[in-house]
Structure 1
């Protein structure tokens, strides 16, 4: 069910379906429930559910087959690293860049 969090309903639905896909609850090749079933499950309109599924399509997590439904892709791309991990990577890169600049400066001073 969609909650009153301030986040749009289609994003909440997409987040939950994404977690199910990445967590293995919805395995590769598995069909998603129909739009009507998802709308009933999340107590949302059909258009909200379609927006959520469209978002997952754009992310490459699901693929639609005309007349058959929407399925979890066999080759689901890996999840991006969490935001805090990205911040840590950026700090490490900055530190390495500074250290490299110092080494290059020392080497150029020796010439």
Structure 2
């Protein structure tokens, strides 16, 4: 497994691999992705994992789905803002959770002091 993908869920790893294939040109704009079942076989994951990965890619603008036709690489790659990799977002979330916990403790202390 790629070291940058450690800690990712299976659907995130699938989505990241497809994005990488788009970035390097293995999947060109307008190219049709394999069907979900074939992608599941290719990545050796469950069908639901692939479906979740494809939905994530749609939400991020990497692919476009046409019902009853297929899923295609978007004509333009979405611009990825710096500092928005999944790992960076997770780390930011951990820091925010720690900060929130700290603020909650401080608030509780202030409320206790105020009540005395």
TM-score (norm 2): 0.63
> What is residue 62 of structure 2 aligned with on the other side?
61
Cα distance in 2, alignment partners of residues 25 and 14 from structure 1: 14
Aligned residues: 81
Q: Which runs of 5+ in 1 are unaligned?
A: 84-111
Q: Which runs of 5+ in 2 are unaligned?
A: 85-116
Structure (1 or 2) with the larger CA radius of gyration? 1
> What is residue 14 of structure 2 aligned with on the other side?
13
Is the CA contact 1:30–1:72 (under 8 Å) kept in the aligned structure 2? Answer: yes
> What is residue 23 of structure 1 aligned with on the other side?
24
> What is residue 87 of structure 1 aligned with on the other side?
none
> What is residue 72 of structure 1 aligned with on the other side?
73
